[in-house]
């Protein structure tokens, strides 16, 4: 221990201790620095809290129970009925509210199952892809089946399966899920192929880490980032698909079981949309806001999940020994409006 020692690390580095609080703090700092992500996060949080309230005690938010007939028919928005009522006397605001937990649950179930199932297949197909081995053959089988599903227009396939299975929540989930998983296989396989040849995976192999552990620990953690981002964005896409299936009349039976797509389908199909346009506004705006919120959050998550951009984004810079936060790039100005200007490389703000 006689060699000259490197200079001590500034004590600011200690601020990045391994505490539970520090992660939450970091998350909050990143959110604060990215207004759009913050907006997405707040709206998603609001939506989730609302869904929980609807499940626990809906009367905090509405006077009416599910499918409760009011005495008002075809009324426009008012204080008593913020979203109006339909010809059956149903309060559309309440119906939209009751549909929220169901829509969210279906979206999460489909995207979640597709992510876990498709992701697992993608990991296998990406890591064990050596031709001429049993696992290599398995990978080929997985990929060809994936190709078959991807080659078929997914909405048409989902509609066909929904028709054959009949109405119902589980039928709907199965129908969409069957067309949904292949995208995750492709995504995860691609990422796995890119990651598995990186030096740190080789180094882990050299250190005697078993294949299973390399996949589940080293590769999965590095693949997770784009997958979680895709998942968050995907919630919105599933909701849209769900609504589309509902809209063409193959979703849940409304009135009876409120679901945004089915509601829109019902009001549009019964011709009420021209005379009483507010009937579709409630479910329509709900779909729009939910999808938008998840998209905004998903974009920002990309930055939060990457440890390299995390501290720079959060503007703490405390832990950096080698590099400080990059300076704000100056935007070059063109002399004439038509001139081309070299775009500065800016990290997407979220």
Partner 1 sequence: MSDPVVSIQGLSIDYVVGAGRFRAVSDVSLDVERGHVVGIVGETGCGKSTLAQAIPRLLPEPPATIGGGRILFEGTDLVQVPRWKMPAIRGTGINMIFQEPLNSLNPAFRIYDQVAEAVHIRQVRERKAGTVVRREPGPFDYSRRPDPTAKDAWSGKVVPGGAVPEAVHRRQVDQQAGGNRADIRREVLEYLRLVRINDPETILNLYPHELSGGMRQRIMIAMALSEKPSLLIADEPTSALDVTIQAQVLTLMKELIEEVNTSILFISHDLGVIAETADELGVMYAGKLVEFGPVGEVFESPRHPYTKALLRAAPTRYKSDGPLLSVGGNVPNLSHPPLGCRFHPRCSIARPVCRGEPAPPLAVVAGAASNHRSACHFAEEVPGIP
Residue of 32, 63, 130, 347 that binds partner 1 (CB under 8 A): 130
Q: CB-wise, 131 or 338, nearer to partner 1?
A: 131
Q: What is the DSSP letter of 342?
A: P
| Beta carbon of residue 127, minimum distance to partner 1 (angstroms, whole number) | 12
131 binds partner 1 (CB under 8 A): yes
Q: Binding residues for partner 1, how many (CB under 8 A)?
A: 38
Q: Is 321 in the site for partner 1 (CB under 8 A)?
A: yes
DSSP assignment of 199-256: HHHHHHHHTT--HHHIIIIIIHHHHHHHHHHHHHHHHHHHHHHHHHHHHTT-S--TTT
Q: According to the binding rule CB under 8 A, does residue 74 interact with partner 1?
A: no
- If binding is defined by CB under 8 A, does position 21 make contact with partner 1? no
Calculate Rg over the CA atoms of the chain: 25
d(CA 258, CA 261): 9
Give the binding range for partner 1 (CB under 8 A) out of 37-45, 126-134, 156-164, 279-287. Answer: 126-134
- The smaller minimum CB distance to partner 1, of residues 1 and 342, is found at 1
C-alpha 69/C-alpha 87 separation (Å) is 10
Q: Segment 164-223, which members bind partner 1 (CB under 8 A)?
A: 198-200, 202-211, 217-218, 221-222
Q: How far is CA 312 from CA 23, 330, 349, in A?
A: 15, 17, 11
Which residue, 2 or 71, is less far from partner 1 as judged by CB?
2
Q: How far apart are CA 297 and CA 45, in angstroms?
A: 10
Residues near partner 1 (CB under 8 A): 1, 3, 5-9, 13-14, 16-18, 130-132, 198-200, 202-211, 217-218, 221-222, 307-308, 319-322
């Amino acid at each position: 221990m006689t060699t000259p020692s490197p200079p001590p690390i500034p004590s600011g580095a200690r601020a990045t201790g391994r505490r539970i609080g520090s992660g939450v703090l970091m998350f909050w700092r990143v959110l604060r620095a990215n207004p759009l992500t913050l907006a997405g996060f707040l709206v998603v949080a609001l939506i989730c809290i609302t869904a929980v309230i609807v499940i626990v005690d809906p009367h905090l938010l509405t006077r009416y129970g599910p499918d409760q007939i009011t005495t008002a028919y075809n009324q426009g928005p008012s204080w008593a009925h913020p979203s109006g009522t339909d010809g059956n006397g149903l309060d559309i605001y309440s119906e939209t509210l009751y549909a929220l937990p169901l829509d969210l649950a279906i979206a999460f179930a489909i995207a979640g199952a597709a992510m876990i199932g498709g992701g697992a297949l993608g990991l296998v197909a990406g890591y064990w892809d050596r031709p001429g081995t049993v696992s290599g053959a398995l990978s080929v089988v997985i990929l060809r089946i994936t190709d078959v599903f991807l080659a078929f227009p997914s909405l048409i396939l989902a509609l066909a399966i929904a028709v054959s299975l009949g109405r119902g929540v589980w039928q709907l989930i199965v129908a969409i899920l069957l067309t949904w998983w292949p995208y995750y296989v492709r995504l995860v396989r691609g990422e796995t192929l890119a990651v598995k040849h990186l030096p740190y995976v080789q180094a882990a192999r050299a250190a005697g880490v078993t294949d299973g552990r390399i996949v589940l620990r080293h590769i999965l953690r590095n693949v997770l980032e784009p997958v979680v981002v895709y998942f968050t964005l995907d919630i919105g896409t599933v909701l849209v698909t769900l609504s589309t299936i509902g809209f063409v009349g193959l979703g849940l039976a409304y009135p009876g079981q409120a679901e945004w797509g089915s509601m829109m389908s019902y009001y549009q199909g019964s011709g009420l949309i021209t005379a009483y346009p507010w009937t579709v506004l409630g479910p329509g705006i709900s779909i729009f806001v939910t999808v938008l919120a998840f998209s905004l959050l998903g974009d920002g998550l990309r930055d939060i999940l990457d440890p390299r951009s995390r501290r720079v984004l959060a503007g703490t810079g405390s832990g950096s020994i080698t590099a400080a936060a990059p300076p704000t790039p100056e935007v070059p100005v063109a002399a004439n409006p038509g001139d081309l200007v070299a775009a500065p490389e800016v990290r997407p703000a979220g």
